[in-house]
Amino acid sequence: MNAPPLVIKIGGSVDDPSLLLDDIAAQQRAVVVVHGAHRVLDALATQLGHPPRFVTSTSGAVSRYTDSTAMDHFLMAYCGLVNKRLVQGLLARGVGAVGLAGMDGAMVRGRRRTDIRVRDGTRTVVLHGDHAGTITHVDTSLLGALLASRRTPVICPPALGDDGVPINVDGDRLTAELAIALGAERMMIFSDTAGFLRDASRPDSTVVRAGPSDIAELAAAALGRARTKLAAVERALRGGVASVGLCDGRQHRPIEAALAGAGTWFSATAAAVTV
Q: What is the CATH number of the domain that holds 128?
A: 3.40.1160.10
Q: With residue 187 as reference, give the H or E element that holds it.
A: strand 186-191
Spatial neighbors of 100 by CB under 8 A, at least 6 apart, are 83, 107, 142, 153, 154, 155, 156
Which one-letter DSSP state was computed for residue 203? T
Q: Is 71 a domain residue? A: yes
End-to-end CA distance of the chain: 37
Q: Is 29 a domain residue? A: yes
Residue 92 pLDDT level (bands cut at 50, 70, 90): very high
Contact yes or no for 147/1 (Cβ under 8 A): yes
* CA 268 remoteness from chain centre: 20
How many other C-beta atoms lie within 10 A of the C-beta of residue 204? 9
Contact yes or no for 110/136 (Cβ under 8 A): yes
| Domain that includes residue 247, residue range | 6-267
Give dist(CA 16, CA 183) in Å, integer: 29
Q: Could you read off the pLDDT of 36-73 as tens digits, one per residue?
A: 999 999 999 999 999 999 998 887 778 899 999 999 99
* CA 126 remoteness from chain centre: 27
Total count of domains within the chain: 1
Can you name the residues that pair with 108 across neighbouring β-strands?
A: 138
Give dist(CA 33, CA 240) in Å, integer: 19
How many other C-beta atoms lie within 10 A of the C-beta of residue 173? 20
Q: Could you read off the pLDDT of 187-220 as tens digits, one per residue?
A: 999 999 999 988 777 878 889 999 999 998 898 8
Q: Is 274 a domain residue? A: no
Global pTM value: 0.94
Give dist(CA 109, CA 101) in Å, integer: 11
